[in-house]
Structure 1
Amino acid sequence: MLFSMMWRSLSMLSVYHQRQMKLISSLQEHAFAVLFAGKKRLRNGDVHYPFRQSSSFLYLTGYTQADAWLILSSNPNQPQTVLFVSNPDPKQARWEGGALSKADILALTGVTEVHYLSDFERYLATISVLHKHCYLPFAEMSLTSQRDIQDQLAASKRKRSIGALGYADLSEILAKLRMIKDETEITIMRQAIHDSGEAHRQVIQSARANQFEYQLENTFQSYLRERGYTALAYPSIVAGGSNACILHYTDNNQRICSGDLVLIDAGVEKNGYAADITRTFPVNGQFSPVQQLVYQAVLSVQESVIQMIKPGCDFGQLNQCAITLICEFLIEVGLIRASLVEAIEKQLYLPYYFHSVGHWLGLDVHDVGPYKHHDDWIPFEPGMVLTIEPGLYFARDITDCPREYHGLGVRIEDDILVTQTGCEVLSSACPKQIDEIEELRH
C-alpha cells in the first residue's frame, strides 16, 4: 500500500510527541523550525526511485510519504507542531492506493494539527509574522528548498514591513537528539542487527567456490525478504578475493575462486534504522595459514578496541588503539620496517589500513552527529550506537608486499551500544571467531 505508516501504536505516538517537544525546547523563544520530507526522484521516463523518507522527518513523526512539511513552534500562542501532507487525489488513489485521512495521520504522528499542502504557503506567511527566528536543517534540505522557503518568508515580512527573520541551522540540534537512542530505537535496531547477523550466517554456511558474488548477495537478501524486510540499509558489498581490497566495492558480479576469502558488508533496514555488519570468511570453509594470520590480527584489533568502549571514551582513543595494534602486527610480520613510533608518525600503515575504525549508526548507516567539537573528540554517552570495523588490505599494486599476501582483504564489523558501564555488542550472535566460521561448514 502506497500510504503505509510505521509503528501504529499509542506508545509510538507518545515517542514522536516527546521527540518533537525536545526539539522545540532547544529553539530560541518565538522561533519556528521547518522540515521537508523530500520529493520522489525520477529514475527514467515516468519511473521513480522508491521513496525513502528524510531521516530526521522520520525520527520526529514516523510519517513515510513524500512532499510533506513539518513546522514546529516555540511560540506558546501557536500550535506546537503542524504537519502538511499532500491533498487527496482520487486518480492517484485508484492507481496507487488511497491516502490516510488527516485524523489517521494525527493519531499516528503525535503532531498538534494536520493540514493539506494547499494551505502551506498561507500558513507559512502567517507564522513568519509571529516569530523572530527560523530554523532550517541545512544539511538535509536541498539548496532549492532552502531558497524557496527563505524567499517566501522574506516576501511575507516585506509585505508587512516587518524586520527580517534570523535564520539558524537546525541540523546540529537534530544530530544531538538522534545521537542518543531511546529504548524504542534500541529495540528496533537490536532486531535489525540480529536478523542481519542471521543472514550473514546463512551466506557463510551456503557459499561455495565458483559461485558468483551476486549469488551470495541473493542468499543474504532472500533470507531477509522472506522475513518481511523490504529495504537494505545500503548497497551490499560482496567481494571475493582481491575485490575485498576495494573499500566500497559494489559490482558484486565476479566469480569467487577456490581458496578465496569473501568479504560481505551488508545490513538490513527496519523502520528506517540500519544494521551494518561485515564478515570475512574462506569460501572453501578453511582458512589458509596466511589468511588465518591476517584474519586473527584484525579480529584481535577489533576485540581490543571494543573492550575500550564505555562512557567517556571517544573515537580518537579507539582510532589510536587500532592504528597502534595494526602497526605492531605489520612490523612483526616484516611489512613495515621501522619503529612503532615512526610507523605511526609517518603513517606507514596507510597502504594496508586507510579508514576510520568506526562510525555512528542509526537512521542513517553513517548516522548524523559530530565526532569532534572544535579540537576535542566527542565523549561516548549511554545510548549511542556505533560500529567498530578495523581491516587489513593487501592490494596487488603494493609492490613491496610478499606475494602470499597479495589480494587478501579482511574487515570485521560489529554494531555496538554504549551502556551505563561499558558496551553491548548488538551483533554478537553473528559468528566471527575462526573456529565458529569453520564449524559452520562442517
Structure 2
Amino acid sequence: MHTEHQQRRDRLMAKIGNGTAIFRSAPMAVMHNDVEYAYRQDSNFYYLTGFNEAQAVAVLAPHHPEHKFILFVQPKDREKEVWSGYRCGVEAAKEMYGADEAYPIHELDEKLPQYLEKADKIYYHLGRDRAFNETVLNHWQKMMRTYPRRGTGPTAIEDTATVLHALRLTKSEAELKLMRKAANIAVEAHNHAMKFATPGCYEYEVQAEIEHIFRLRGAMGPAYPSIVAAGKNACVLHYIENDSQIQNDDLLLIDAGCSYGYYNSDITRTFPVNGKFTPEQKILYEIVLEAQKQAISQVKPGNPYNLAHDVAVRIITEGLVEIGILKGEIDKLIEEEKYKPFYMHKTGHWLGLDVHDVGVYQHGEDKPQILQPGQITTVEPGIYIVPDTKPAEDQPEIDSRWVGIGIRIEDDVLITDTGNEVLTAGVPKEVSDLER
C-alpha cells in the first residue's frame, strides 16, 4: 500500500496548496490501571501514512523545497522495545513509509517551525489530545507574533476535515479489496451464528462464536461491540450486555461486523431462533424487509443521500398504519415524525476506515450529498416496539401483542457506475430462508 498512501498524500497536498497539514497519532488507551488496550491508529493518520505506532506526528508541507512529507516518531530504544514492542525508528520511517525527512518526536518543537514559516494556513483538527492542541496553537501564535516582520506565515487554522474527508469518502480499489474481505468474514460469522443460536443458549455464546470467526479469518477483531439481542433486548439500539438467555419464541437481533486491515463491515440480521416467526413478528419483519429493499434500490449514483431514508420512513409508516399502531394520513404522520417512537434512527451511515465513516451527508439546507461511485453506505431500517412506549395523544394504544419486538436489517452497499452492489448479500434475510 506504499504507493497508495503516497497517492493519498499527493491528492491532499494538491488541495492544501501553500498550507501545512499536521496530523497526530492516536493516544494509547488505558483499559485499567497500567493495562492498555490493543493499539488502534487514528484513521486519518493511518489513511495518509500506513504508520501504526503511537506518539507520532505527520506533517505535509507541499510548499517546502525538499521535505513534503515529514514524520516525527519514537526513536529506537532497545529496553522499551523489549517490554512494549518493536519501534520503526527514525531512519526506517523514511525507508519504510516514504517520508522525505524523519525526526525523533522530542524534536518536534525545534523542527516544526521550518515547515510552518512559509505556509499561508495550518490545517489541523483540534482533537481530544489537548496537550498537542496547545502545541499547535502555540506554534501558530509565535508565527503570528513575528508575521509583521516577515510578512509570511500561517494567518489561519482550518480543520483538516474540510479537505481530507471528501477524499476518504470515495474508496480506491485497494480499499474496496479490504472492505470486501471484511464483509465476507462478517457474512461467514453471521451465517454460522444463525445455525448455532438455539433456544436456551445465552447471547454471549453466540457473540463468542461470531468473534471467534472474526479472528480465525484474520480480522483484527470486532469493528464495534457486537450486539446480540434476544427478545425485548433488541429494542435497545446499542445493547451490548449480551448476557440474557434466549427463549424459545424470541427473535434474535445480531448487529456485528469486523475490522480487516483497518476497514470495517457492519451487518444486522434478525431471525427467529426456533425457526418460525410468530404472526406479529412476521408482519413487522416483512415491513422492515420491504423498507430495506426499497431503500437499497435508491442507493445509486446521482441520487441524493437522504432518499433511501425517506423511502424507508414512508414504507415503515404505511406499514404501522396498516396494522393499527399508527393512525392518520401518511404524509402528515411523516411530517410530524409520528413514526419516531418506533423508528428513531437514520437508515444508514458511511462505512470505511471508521464504522460511522467521515464525509458529509448534507451541504447546507436543501443540498444533500449526491451519491457517487466508490462510496459505501449501510442501509439499516428497523422497527422497535419498546415496552412502556406512550403513544401521542392522537395515536392509538399499542396492542400488547406487538410490545417487545425489535427488528433491524442492515447491509453494506457500494455505489457502482450502474447502480449498487450489496457487499453483504451472502447473509439470508428472506422469511423463507430464515424459517425452517
Q: TM-score, normalised by structure 2?
A: 0.94
Q: What code does the residue aligned with 2:404 have?
A: G
Aligned match of 2:230:
240
**Distance change (3 Å), C-alpha of 1:34 and 1:141:** farther
Deviation of the 1:352 alpha carbon: 0.8
In structure 1, list runs of 5 or more residues that go unmatched.
1-11
Deviations along 1:302-337, one digit per CA (max 9) or x if unpaired, are: 001111111111222112111111111011111111
Q: 2:73 aligns with which of 50, 74, 85?
A: 85
Q: How far, CA to CA, are the matches of 2:336 and 2:87 in structure 1?
A: 59
Aligned match of 1:293? 283
- Structure 1 CA distance for aligned equivalents of residues 326 and 382 of structure 2: 16
1:130 deviation in Å?
2.7
307-316 vs 150-159, which deviates more? 150-159
The one-letter code sitting in structure 1 at the alignment partner of 2:379 is I
Q: What corresponds to 2:7 in structure 1?
A: 18
Larger mean Cα displacement after TM superposition, 12-21 or 164-173 = 164-173
1:336-384 alpha-carbon deviations (Å, 9 max, x no partner): 1101122112211111111101010011100001100011101000000
Q: Deviations over 1:35-62 (max 9, x none)?
A: 0012212333221222210001111111
Alignment partner of 1:275 out of 262, 265, 271 = 265
Report the AA paired with residue 32 of structure 2.
N
How far is 1:102 from its partner?
Answer: 4.1
Asked whether the 8 Å contact 2:75–2:87 carries over to 1, the reply is: no
Residue 98 of structure 1 is aligned with which of 64, 73, 86?
86
| Contact map agreement 2:182 2:219 (CA 8 A) in 1 | no
Distance 1:343 1:174 in 2: 39
Report how far residue 76 of structure 1 moved.
Answer: 4.7
Q: Find 1:422's aligned residue among 419, 422, 431.
A: 419
The answer to whether 1:351 aligns with 2:338 is: no
1:394 corresponds in structure 2 to 385
Q: Which residue of 1 aligns with 2:118?
A: 130
Kindly provide the amino acid, as one letter, of the partner of residue 49 in structure 1: Y
Structure-1 separation of matches of 2:16 and 2:51: 22
Q: Alpha-carbon deviation of 1:211? A: 1.4
Structure 2 residue 321 is the aligned partner of structure 1 residue 341: no
State percent identity of aligned pairs.
Answer: 34
Q: Name the CA distance, whole Å, in 2 between partners of 1:213 and 1:379.
A: 39
1:93 and 1:76 mapped to 2: Cα distance? Answer: 33
Q: SS at 2:221's partner residue?
A: coil
Letter of the 1:127 partner, please give it.
Answer: Y
Matches within 5 A, 1:401-412: 401-412=398-409
Matched letter for residue 10 of structure 2? M
Deviation by residue 1:262-286 (Cα, 9 ceiling, x = unmatched): 1011100011111000010111122
The answer (yes or no) to whether the contact 1:280–1:411 under 8 Å persists in 2 is yes
Q: How does 1:8-407 map to 2 (within 5 A)?
A: 12-29=1-18, 31-138=19-126, 140=127, 142-155=129-142, 158=145, 161-162=149-150, 165=154, 166-375=156-365, 376-398=367-389, 400-407=397-404
2:243 is paired with a residue whose SS is: coil
Structure 2 equivalent of residue 7 of structure 1: none
Cα distance in 1 between the residues matched to 2:282 and 2:196:
20
The Cα offsets for residues 380-430 of structure 1, whole Å up to 9 and x where unpaired, read as 000000000000011121352111111100000000000011100000111
TM-score normalised according to structure 1 size: 0.92
Are 2:413 and 1:413 equivalent residues in the alignment?
no
Shift of 1:151: 0.6
Counterpart of 2:393 in structure 1 is none
Q: Deviations over 1:201-238 (max 9, x none)?
A: 11110101121111111110011222222321111111
Q: Is contact 1:82–1:113 with CA below 8 Å preserved after alignment?
A: yes
Q: Which amino acid is the alignment partner of residue 388 of structure 2?
A: D
The amino acid across from 1:389 in the alignment is: E
Give distance in 1, aligned partners of 2:289 and 2:317: 14
Is contact 1:40-1:49 (8 Å) kept? Answer: yes
SS of equivalent residue, structure 1 residue 334: coil
1:143 Cα shift?
3.7
Q: Does the C-alpha gap of structure 1 residues 145 and 76 become closer, same or farther in structure 2, counting only changes over 3 Å?
A: closer
> 1:79, 1:241 → 2: CA distance?
59
Question: 1:9: which partner in 2?
Answer: none
Q: Give distance in 1, aligned partners of 2:370 and 2:191.
A: 33
Partners of 1:303 and 1:137 in 2: how far apart?
38
For 2:53 and 2:253, locate their aligned partners in 1 and report how far apart those are by CA, in whole Å: 35
8 A contact 2:214–2:222 mirrored in 1: no
- Residue-by-residue CA offset, 1:237-291 (whole Å, 9 max, x unaligned): 1111001011111111111111000101110001111100001011112212211
Residues 71-114 of structure 1: CA distance to partner in whole angstroms, max 9, x if unpaired? 00121514110111101122112223332354543344233233
- Asked whether the 8 Å contact 2:218–2:260 carries over to 1, the reply is no
Q: Secondary structure at the match of 1:220?
A: helix
Compute the RMSD of aligned alpha carbons: 1.7
What is the match of residue 5 of structure 1?
none
Letter of the structure 2 residue corresponding to residue 405 of structure 1: W
**Change over 3 Å in CA distance of 1:83–1:327 after alignment to 2:** same
Write the distance in 2 (CA, Å) between the matches of 1:379 and 1:97.
44
CA contact (8 A) 1:36 1:141 kept: no
Using the TM superposition, give the Cα deviation of residue 125 of structure 1 relative to its aligned residue in structure 2, in angstroms. Answer: 2.1
